[in-house]
């Protein structure tokens, strides 16, 4: 391995922001923040999700969507389709009346 081209490998204290769980792991991260943990000072990296807070690892119940993505999309935009159909039907219904009025004016 070449010297002076790789970042230094060190122990880093990772803190889960959502649960406050702390764990030490080797990393090449170079954070500026430092904190004492178990009597030793470590650089600190804060993470939003770790195995301590992720639902897959904790077994926490999640809301599972029973509808598929396509079904949700169609349901969401069904109203727009219905409105467009109503406009077309209203225009088609108004068309014969307009023709009758024109014929009545000509006579």
Q: Tens digit of pLDDT per residue, the chain (107 long)?
A: 688 898 889 999 999 988 889 999 999 999 999 999 999 999 999 988 888 887 776 777 655 555 677 777 777 777 777 888 888 888 887 776 656 566 666 65
Helix (H) or strand (E) holding 38: none
Q: Is the pTM of this model over 0.85?
A: no
Candidates 48, 19, 53, 15; CA nearest to 34 is: 15
Is the Cα dihedral 52, 55, 57, 61 positive or negative?
positive
């Amino acid at each position: 391995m070449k010297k002076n081209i790789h970042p230094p490998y060190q122990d880093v204290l990772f803190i889960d922001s959502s649960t406050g769980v702390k764990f030490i792991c080797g990393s090449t991260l170079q954070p500026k923040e430092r904190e004492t943990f178990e009597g030793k000072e470590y650089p600190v990296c804060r993470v939003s999700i770790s195995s301590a807070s992720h639902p897959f690892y904790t077994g926490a119940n999640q809301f599972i969507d029973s509808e598929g993505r396509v079904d949700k999309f169609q349901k969401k935009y069904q109203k727009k389709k219905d409105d467009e159909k109503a406009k077309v039907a209203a225009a088609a219904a108004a068309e014969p009346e307009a023709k009758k009025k024109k014929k009545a004016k000509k006579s």
